[in-house]
């Protein structure tokens, strides 16, 4: 099967969908009947880019300010995409929201319906483009992949699709996420002023949907001695409407028991996950919640919300709270800090839960969707 795979998102610093594209593409190369051609927005390659395009982080704000910029970029990408048409492509896979035009069979991945559930978290110009294109894209796709059953059910109900047009392919775990001895991560932790097992970690883009304010309020409610011994360490790049967090975040940072690290390289994040007392992931809405899986695979207990796909990923290993209940999150933090037996049980349960997920399985399910879309 000759597959055109849109890897344009890898021009940006990698967050959830970027990791999905990179890991799935690598895993698909191990499927014997799958031959990928990777489209990078401006051309084609058989190789994944090793790093984001220089200056890409400045492109988003620029697109939001220039009228028609999203459509203009889209037009240019379509022209570049069509230049490949001299070579035969059996199927096109769009792994990130809206497909380019293609007159053959298309498979698309819908990771979530954030634009419907939380439209205020999207830049207006981008939201208008999604609304303009997505309905037609869903109609044209032969099969739609989702990361979780929760999102498959949402997509089916919202678009009125038959169940046979949807396939669930849960995400996997990169090899860098595994338990590590304290001495193996000591250098990275010391560089950030941390000690193994003595901090709580938040990972995610700084935007309202990620609900970081809940973690800040819960941590601030811990006893002073506990906050001093177990600071809250936050890793994530700036997102849309981060200004909503600024006042609360500035207050927490001034308190001295919260640290904002910004965007960090993947290997540093993996080491920080392995060294944390717990991952605090209070998101209101996720199509999967990859940091939850990565933390469990690293031997780190997880506190997350009873929302969307998170219980599907964390399963019985998760510690859960409501997305608007800082007291419940505070108690979950305190228990993992003070109750060593509970911490050990959550660690063991998380490692077991993580074995249910792999990029190899994701790739096999994706390849099976390709075959089905091609009539195999």
**What CA–CA distances, in Å, run from 366 to 28, 29, 83, 169, 374?**
8, 12, 26, 7, 13
Q: Which of 158-162, 244-248, 303-307, 321-325 has the lowest average pLDDT?
A: 244-248
Domain count, the chain: 2
- The closest alpha carbon to 59, from 17, 20, 13, belongs to 13
**Cα Rg, the chain, nearest whole Å:** 21
Q: Are residues 194 and 336 in the same domain?
A: yes
Q: Are residues 154 and 248 in the same domain?
A: no
SS3 content of the chain, % helix, strand, coil (to 5): 50, 15, 35
Entry pTM: 0.89
Q: Are residues 116 and 210 in the same domain?
A: no
Count CB-CB contacts under 10 A for residue 84: 14
pLDDT of residue 16: 77
Q: Are residues 161 and 186 in the same domain?
A: no
Confidence tier at 59 by pLDDT (50, 70, 90): low
pLDDT in tens, 137-182: 999 999 999 999 999 999 999 999 999 999 999 999 999 999 999 9
Read off the pLDDT of each residue in 97-124 and give the average, rounded to a whole number: 87
Q: How far is CA 362 from the centre of its chain?
A: 15
HSE-CB of 127 using CA atoms within 13 angstroms: 13
User: Residue 370 and residue 92: Cα distance in Å, rounded?
Assistant: 9
Q: Are residues 72 and 197 in the same domain?
A: no
Domain that holds residue 134: 2-172+358-373
pLDDT in tens, 74-85: 888 898 888 766
Q: Are residues 18 and 157 in the same domain?
A: yes
């Amino acid at each position: 099967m000759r597959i055109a795979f849109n890897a344009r998102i890898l021009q940006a610093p990698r967050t959830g969908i970027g990791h999905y594209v990179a890991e799935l593409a690598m895993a698909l190369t191990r499927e014997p009947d799958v031959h990928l051609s990777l489209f990078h927005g401006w051309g084609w390659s058989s190789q994944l880019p090793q790093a984001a395009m220089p200056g890409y982080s400045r492109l988003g704000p620029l697109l939001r300010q220039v009228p028609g910029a999203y459509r203009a970029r889209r037009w240019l990408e379509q022209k570049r995409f069509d230049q490949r048409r001299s070579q035969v492509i059996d199927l096109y896979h769009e792994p990130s929201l809206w497909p380019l035009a293609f007159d053959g069979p298309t498979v698309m991945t819908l990771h979530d319906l954030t634009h419907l559930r939380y439209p205020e978290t999207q830049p207006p110009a981008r939201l208008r483009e999604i609304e303009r294109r997505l309905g037609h894209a869903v109609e044209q796709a032969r099969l739609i992949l989702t990361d979780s059953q929760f999102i498959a059910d949402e997509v089916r109900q919202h678009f009125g699709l038959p169940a046979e047009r949807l396939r669930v392919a849960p995400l996997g775990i990169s090899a860098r996420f595994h338990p590590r001895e304290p001495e193996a991560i000591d250098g990275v932790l010391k560089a950030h002023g941390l000690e193994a097992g003595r901090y709580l970690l938040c990972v995610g883009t700084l935007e309202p949907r990620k609900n970081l304010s809940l973690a800040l309020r819960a941590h601030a409610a811990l006893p002073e001695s506990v906050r001093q011994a177990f600071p809250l360490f936050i890793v994530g790049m700036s997102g849309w409407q981060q200004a909503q967090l600024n006042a609360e975040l500035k207050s927490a940072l001034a308190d001295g028991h919260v640290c904002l690290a910004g965007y960090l390289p993947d290997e540093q994040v993996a080491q920080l996950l392995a060294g944390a007392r717990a991952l605090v992931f209070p998101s209101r809405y996720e199509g999967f919640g990859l940091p939850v899986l990565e933390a469990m695979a690293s031997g780190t207990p997880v506190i997350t919300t009873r929302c969307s796909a998170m219980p599907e990923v964390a399963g019985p290993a998760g510690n859960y709270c409501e997305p608007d209940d800082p007291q419940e999150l505070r108690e979950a933090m305190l228990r993992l800090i003070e109750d060593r037996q509970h911490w050990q049980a959550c660690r063991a349960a998380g490692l077991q839960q993580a074995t249910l997920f792999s990029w190899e399985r994701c790739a096999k399910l994706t390849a099976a969707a390709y075959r089905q879309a091609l009539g195999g």
